[in-house]
Amino acid sequence: MLKRFTISMEEELLHDFDDLIAQRRYKNRSEAVRDLIRSRVVEDEWAADKDVMGVISLVYDHHQHQLQEKITELQHDLHHHIVSTTHVHMDHHNCLEVIIVRGQAGAVQQLANSLIALRGVRSGNLAMSSTGKHLH
Ligand code: NI
């Protein structure tokens, strides 16, 4: 059920909010506020070590000695956290590996850190997402 409530804030802060809304292409303030709250819920899930989903992306040169093997080995060691892996051969040297992970936030974060810290990984990122169970 949809409930209405009123928010008071300084004019300058409201201007900032409206700029943000325009930039992010929100149709109205309500959907923007709802999404801000949801993203805070996701942040808190990670901070509280809840069951979460994440997406790890790695860019690396597959010619780097044993790097491909290490990336695969780490995923096998933590196979219960790996939902899916997609590998893209972007050009002669560069690979993009996208790994969808699930589990307790701390364990998932550690796995991402271990992968990203491997020598030869040129770009690494963990996108923190959610199982959606606590999102409305
Ligand atoms: Ni490749």
**C-alpha 129 – ligand 1 centre gap (Å):** 26
CA of 52 to the centre of ligand 1 (A): 28
76 is in an annotated binding site: yes
Separation of 3 CA from ligand 1 center, angstroms?
A: 50
Percent of residues, the chain, with pLDDT higher than 90: 98
Does the annotation place 93 within a ligand binding site?
no
HSE (CB half, 13 Å, CA atoms) of 46?
Answer: 15
Has 87 been labeled as part of a binding site?
yes
CB-based contacts of 1-10 (< 8 A; 24+ apart in sequence): 7/33
Report pLDDT for 9: 96
Cα(81) to centroid of ligand 1, in Å?
A: 22
Q: pLDDT tens-digit profile of 87-135?
A: 999 999 999 999 999 999 999 999 999 999 999 999 999 999 999 998 9
Give me the mean pLDDT over the 41-55 stretch: 97
Give the residue-averaged pLDDT of 9-28.
Answer: 96
Q: What is the mean pLDDT of residues 74-83?
A: 97
Separation of alpha carbons 120 and 125, rounded Å: 14
Report CA(119)–ligand 1 centroid distance (Å): 16
Is 92 annotated as contributing to ligand binding?
A: no
State the average pLDDT for the chain.
96
